[in-house]
Amino acid sequence: MTKKLHQNQQTKHNPVLRPTQHRARIIQTLLKQLFCLFLTLLVISPIYLVFINSFKTKGEAARMSIALPTEWHFENYTKVIEDGKLIQGFTNSMTYSVLSTAVAVLLCAMAAYVMCRNRSKLNTMLYYFTICGLFIPVNFVTVMKVLQTLRLAETRAGLILVFTSSMIPFCVFTIKSFVSSVPVELDEAAVIDGAGPLQLFFGIIIPLLKPILATAFILEFMGVWNDFITPLYLTSKSSMWPMNLAVYNFFGKNASYWNLVFADIMLTCLPVIIIYLLGQKYIISGLTSGAVKE
């Protein structure tokens, strides 16, 4: 609003420049729009290519054209669900993503809350100790060794624990910065009313943390869903493979059947795309909480 006013003032001062300035602005907007449309095309076309070719026959898909299929072969999808063991992959991916993320978000919320509220020397040290993990790479070779020692190798529980542990630094980091915006007075009032730490945390704090918990949950859920390297190292039985790995192996066996590979890819991406479109505002707010703070 103020910007507009200011522009008007300026054009009043220079009445001669008005028409050319106006035209320059229109051309500029037009160029910007064209540029953005071009980029949109760049982003969309690979996804479109996958979508359209997933309905073609093997021969037609091999040509990778962007033309519509001559016949729509919806049965590609049923075939791939059976041959690619996608039901099993989907169940595995869901189990890993939901369980590991839920456990991590809950535990990290408790830890981040205490680290934020009780800034003793020990807690502060533990906080920085934890977020060092943001940078440290997971050494999967020795993770396997640890899992073997604990008799958790090749088990779903082991894999879930590894996923959970690897997201702890990020969850503690994001949740802690949010906790500091929740007023301490609420805690004090609850304590005066006789609430214990568990009642206080689950009854009063958790409901207030909902937005950041949603953000952490969505981001980490997608992280596990998209994670390829962890199951690649830690699972050898195909019955434990998440969708990701199932697709990769399906591609290895059927590299020339691009129609089926693409159908497989569509089905793997669908859950994350749906979650993205539904939870977009949480994703953006979570990503950006750090960027605006300083």
Round to the nearest angstrom and report the end-to-end CA distance of the chain: 26
| Ranges within 94-113 binding another protein (CB under 8 A) | 104, 107-108, 110-111, 113
Chain centroid to CA 266: 17
Q: Which segment (67-75, 77-85, 209-217, 281-289) binds another protein by CB under 8 A?
A: 281-289
Q: Answer yes or no whether residue 13 interacts with another protein by CB under 8 A.
A: no
12, 70, 128, 185: residue in contact with another protein (rule CB under 8 A): 128
| Ranges within 150-169 binding another protein (CB under 8 A) | 161-162, 164-166, 168-169
Pinpoint the alpha helices (H) of 180-205.
185-192, 197-199
In the complex, the smallest distance separating the C-beta of residue 249 from another protein, rounded to whole angstroms, is 11
Q: Which segment (43-51, 70-78, 84-92, 208-216) binds another protein by CB under 8 A?
A: 43-51
Q: Which segment (13-21, 33-41, 72-80, 84-92) binds another protein by CB under 8 A?
A: 33-41
Q: Are 50 and 80 in contact (CB under 8 A)?
A: no
Q: Answer yes or no whether residue 208 interacts with another protein by CB under 8 A.
A: no
Token reading at 13: 């001062």
Task: Find the helix packing angle between 156-179 and 86-117, rounded to 10°.
Answer: 40
| 3-class SS letters over 10-41 | HHHHCHHHHHHHHHHHHHHHHHHHHHHHHHHH
Q: Which segment (15-23, 81-89, 209-217, 219-227) binds another protein by CB under 8 A?
A: 219-227
- Angle (CA) 223-227-230 rounded to 5° is 130
Q: Answer yes or no whether residue 34 interacts with another protein by CB under 8 A.
A: no
Q: Answer yes or no whether residue 136 interacts with another protein by CB under 8 A.
A: yes
